Amino acid sequence: MDTPSPLGDLAGLAFRKMNGLGNDFVIIDLRAHRGMKVTEEAARYLGDRAGPYGCDQIITIEERAGEPFMGIWNADGSAVGACGNATRCVGQILMDESGEDAVAFMTPSGPISAERVGTNRVVVDMGEPRLKWEEIPLAEETQDTRFVDIKLGPIDKPVLWGPSAVNMGNPHCIFFVEDADAQALDRFGPMIENHPMFPERANVSVAQVKSKYEIRLRVWERGAGITQACGTAACAALVAAHRRRLTARKASVVLDGGTLAIEWRESDNHVMMAGPVAFEYDGILE
């Protein structure tokens, strides 16, 4: 007897592989396949780098209430609210389809609008950052999410402490450090991701402020580990850095996979993210 595919009824559907600064996605268009779903098992199978696919996130394009909707799963199978880099990819797919240079669509954390600003370059309005402790969410009420009560290392001599917390549709914890490349993010990333302060876990970044206009950022993503780039983390880092008076409202965020231009607009409190989109290949799920 054949063993059932972990893909379930997704087997046989077309997918597209894309990435934003090396943060890569299997994107499945479910608009013509109402009722089909990405299960946790299917997401884990598609995300597994040792398997036939392998990616950081699994993305769906669906239709809900007559509007395009983007669904997001991490490689560990968890469903999430936001993904900055994938938002640019989905924006580009929808704009190519319509022939327009702007598009609006829905995500689990709210509406998004995207605009084409060059060949394979898209700017996305990521909405307003959420900064209250209960919006991150944190497990404990803190007066100020700019400096959360978390310490790493020996109690009397912590190596990292007082990160900022920002929610960009998903929870982020940002440590400001002198040298981002010298941090053992692979070791403490999973500990902070699962720290009791973060009841919904967290994406963990180390941010080095190079100047008022540049941040070097490395990211341990919740449910995916270290990735080449994380768009929402770049937005969260700029917001956190500006709240600590370390940068201007607009800065370049340099990730392992390349650079994003981030602006936290004063006029409407929205965070804008501009960056590239890359097509890899099309295939059939089997």
Ligand X SMILES: N[C@@H](CCC[C@H](N)C(=O)O)C(=O)O
Smallest gap from Cβ 171 to ligand X, in A, equals 7
173 is catalytic: no
What's at 199, amino acid-wise? P
User: Among 28, 174, 230, 239, which residue sits at the site for ligand X (rule: CB under 6 A)?
Assistant: 230
Distances (CA, A) of 267 to 10, 12, 115, 135, 271: 43, 47, 19, 22, 11
Measured from the CB atom, the residue of 164 and 232 that comes closer to ligand X is 232
What is the rounded distance in angstroms from the CA atom of residue 8 to the CA atom of residue 12? 10
Using the rule CB under 6 A, is 92 a contact of ligand X? no
Task: Please enumerate in sequence order all residues whose Cβ is within 8 A of that of 6, keeping only pairs 6 or more positions apart, or say none.
Answer: 41, 42, 44, 45
The tokens describing 13, both together, are 């559907």
What is the rounded distance in angstroms from the CA atom of residue 197 to the CA atom of residue 3? 41
Measured from the CB atom, the residue of 222 and 243 that comes closer to ligand X is 222
- Residue 247 CB burial class (10 angstroms; 0-12, 13-18, ≥19): buried
What is the rounded distance in angstroms from the CA atom of residue 137 to the CA atom of residue 19? 28
Draw the binding track, 184-203, toward ligand X (x: CB under 6 A; -: no contact): -------------------x
Measured from the CB atom, the residue of 29 and 193 that comes closer to ligand X is 193
The tokens describing 160, both together, are 């990292």
User: Where in 22-41 is the site for ligand X (CB under 6 A)?
Assistant: 23
User: Where in 68-87 is the site for ligand X (CB under 6 A)?
Assistant: 74, 80, 83-85
235 is catalytic: no
Catalytic residue among 55, 83, 173, 235: 83
User: Among 68, 71, 223, 275, which residue sits at the site for ligand X (rule: CB under 6 A)?
Assistant: 223
Measured from the CB atom, the residue of 57 and 247 that comes closer to ligand X is 57
- Which residues are designated catalytic? 83, 230
The contact set with ligand X (CB under 6 A) reads 23, 56-57, 74, 80, 83-85, 170, 203, 221-224, 227, 230-232
